[in-house]
């Protein structure tokens, strides 16, 4: 705008000077200015005409660590070239989407692919495609938006847990049995040749047709134990920053354990102690997997409710045969007694502790390394932290509760089998 005002003022002075003095040189400058300004105006007016543009996103959801592919296509259906086009997608994704300035010839088409890393979980927005053009002198510009905005959901990163199995409650049928059963269950595992006494409804007709003799199905006992995950996101107990924080580590643990349990055909329920306590009823299958990931993508460590209150409010939702998985960074031993009392109701228990002191120390070390200094330790604070850690470990051991400790830069699969 300031440059345009300057041009108008200069043009006014030039017109007055040319007609008042009659100098040919001033008229030459006046005609040149009219040609430049008029040509710039026409160039901008034609810059977005007969132009087709669009973009396509490969996925509307993904996990942290994935790469989202965005394909852009611009097509010029006119014979006149487009000397300068600026293409950009406004977005709330961390790091944004890189824009591009291109030149497009007559009847030409340009396409390119962007691989955008998904670095943070959450709900994000990609706005419509923004195209802008202008003249070389900056007198005029034109812009247009193409398409519609879309929402992208980034789920927590899933860590592999190949060697870990969710502990079952102390009930018959609460874990998968490798022994065959005479009952017909949904878990058909293999086929074998027919033997006298086998029921006709156990015949597997496709295998029979393929082998040429009668084949019957064998079944495992159905896994009946459900998992109920209690995720504690109390505000005052968190430490660390970014992906290396207790908040993100616990959310990753909850997502990975839920994914593992659902893969094992268990039903999974969830309680999240966030700003507003969220309850997800136990269910199994792909739809439940999506519900769990959607919930964990949106939560944050903004709760003021202690874990003991969350446990007490969740007791009525847990039934006999379930396994409760408590994920917390709390060093207050008050929640251990209510958790231990669940075993008298036939509910298994496992605790995943995020070591807030080590995450805080890791953050301090990263800051000190970036600043080129050394980490300063407070002996009194370190002793108090160690004392609270010993107290919580002693209380867990007293009630014979199985616990795993999450630490920075240590894979979750390694933690859970240690």
Query: Where does residue 15 rank: exposed (0-12), middle (13-18), buried (19+ CB within 10 A)?
Result: middle
Q: What is the sign of the dihedral through the CA atoms of 252, 254, 255 and 258?
A: positive
| Co-location of 321 and 212 in the same domain | no
Does a structural domain hold residue 346?
Answer: yes
pTM across the whole model? 0.77
114 or 367, which is more confident? 114
Which pLDDT score, from 0 to 100, does residue 173 have? Answer: 45
Beta bridge partners of 85: 102
> Which residues does 67 contact at the CB level (< 8 Å), separation at least 6?
115, 116, 117, 118
**Cα–Cα dist 363/242, whole Å:** 10
| Co-location of 86 and 113 in the same domain | yes
Does a structural domain hold residue 323?
Answer: yes
| Co-location of 253 and 349 in the same domain | yes
Task: Output the domain CATH number for residue 73.
Answer: 2.60.40.10
| Co-location of 245 and 143 in the same domain | no
295 or 39, which is more confident? 295
Q: What letter would DSSP give residue 201?
A: G
| Co-location of 7 and 84 in the same domain | no
For the stretch 152-167, pLDDT in tens is 999 999 999 888 877 7
Alpha helices in 85-140 (DSSP H): none
> How many structural domains compose the chain?
4
- Please compute the mean of the pLDDT values over residues 13-25 and round it to a whole number: 71
- Give the model's confidence band at 181: pLDDT under 50 very low, under 70 low, under 90 confident, else very high: very low
Question: Percent of the chain having pLDDT more than 90?
Answer: 34
| Co-location of 38 and 109 in the same domain | no
Q: Residue 212 pLDDT > 70, yes or no?
A: yes
213 or 251, which is more confident? 251
**Cα–Cα dist 100/70, whole Å:** 13
Q: Residue 223 pLDDT > 60, yes or no?
A: no
| Co-location of 410 and 302 in the same domain | yes
State residue 152 phi and psi, 5-degree precision. -120, 130
Last residue of a domain, one of 195, 220, 245: 220
- 246-263 helix and 356-371 helix, angle to the nearest 10 degrees: 130
- Please compute the mean of the pLDDT values over residues 266-270 and round it to a whole number: 91
- Please compute the mean of the pLDDT values over residues 96-119 and round it to a whole number: 91
Which pLDDT score, from 0 to 100, does residue 177 have? Answer: 46
Residue pair 34/170 in contact by the 8 Å Cβ criterion: no
Query: Which of 58-72, 126-140, 219-233 is least confident?
Result: 219-233
> What is the spatial order of strands in the sheet that 67-76 belongs to?
51-57, 67-76, 109-117
Which pLDDT score, from 0 to 100, does residue 387 have? Answer: 81
Residue pair 128/146 in contact by the 8 Å Cβ criterion: yes
> Domain limits at 402?
227-417
180 or 213, which is more confident? 213
Give which of 43, 46, 50 is closest to 77, Cα–Cα. Answer: 50
């Amino acid at each position: 705008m300031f440059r345009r005002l300057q041009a108008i003022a200069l043009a006014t002075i030039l017109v007055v000077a040319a007609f008042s003095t009659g100098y040919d040189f001033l008229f030459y400058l006046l005609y040149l200015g009219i040609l430049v300004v008029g040509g710039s105006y026409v160039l901008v007016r034609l810059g977005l005409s007969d132009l087709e543009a669009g973009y396509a996103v490969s996925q509307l959801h993904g996990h942290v660590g994935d790469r989202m592919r965005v394909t852009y296509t611009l097509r010029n259906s006119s014979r006149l070239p487009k000397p300068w086009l600026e293409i950009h997608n406004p977005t709330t994704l961390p790091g944004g989407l890189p824009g591009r300035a291109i030149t497009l010839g007559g009847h030409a088409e340009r396409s390119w692919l962007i691989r955008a890393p998904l670095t943070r979980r959450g709900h994000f927005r990609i706005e419509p495609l923004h195209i802008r053009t202008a003249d070389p002198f900056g007198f005029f510009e034109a812009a247009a938006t193409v398409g519609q905005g879309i929402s992208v959901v980034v789920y927590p990163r899933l860590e592999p847990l190949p060697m870990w199995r969710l502990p079952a409650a102390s009930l018959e049928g609460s874990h998968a049995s490798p022994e065959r059963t005479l009952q017909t269950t949904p878990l058909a595992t293999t086929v074998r040749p027919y033997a006298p006494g086998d029921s006709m409804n156990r015949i597997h007709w496709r295998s029979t047709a393929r082998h040429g003799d009668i084949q019957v199905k064998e079944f495992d006992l159905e896994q009946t134990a459900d998992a109920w995950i209690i995720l504690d996101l109390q505000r005052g107990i968190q430490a660390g920053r970014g992906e290396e924080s207790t908040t993100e580590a616990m959310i990753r643990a909850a997502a990975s354990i839920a994914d593992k349990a659902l893969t094992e055909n268990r039903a999974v329920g969830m309680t999240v102690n966030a700003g507003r306590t969220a309850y997800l009823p136990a269910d199994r299958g792909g739809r439940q997997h999506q519900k769990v990931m959607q919930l964990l993508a949106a939560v944050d460590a903004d709760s003021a409710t202690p874990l003991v209150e969350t446990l007490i409010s969740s007791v009525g939702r847990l039934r006999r045969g379930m396994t409760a998985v408590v994920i917390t960074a709390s060093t207050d031993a008050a929640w251990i007694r209510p958790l231990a009392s669940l075993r008298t109701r036939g509910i298994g228990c496992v605790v995943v502790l995020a070591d807030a002191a080590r995450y805080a120390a890791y953050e301090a070390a990263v800051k000190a390394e970036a600043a080129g200094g050394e980490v300063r330790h407070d002996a009194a604070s370190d002793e108090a932290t160690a004392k609270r850690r010993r107290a919580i470990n002693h209380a867990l051991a007293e009630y014979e509760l199985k616990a795993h400790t999450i630490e920075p830069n240590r894979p979750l699969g390694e933690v859970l089998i240690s």
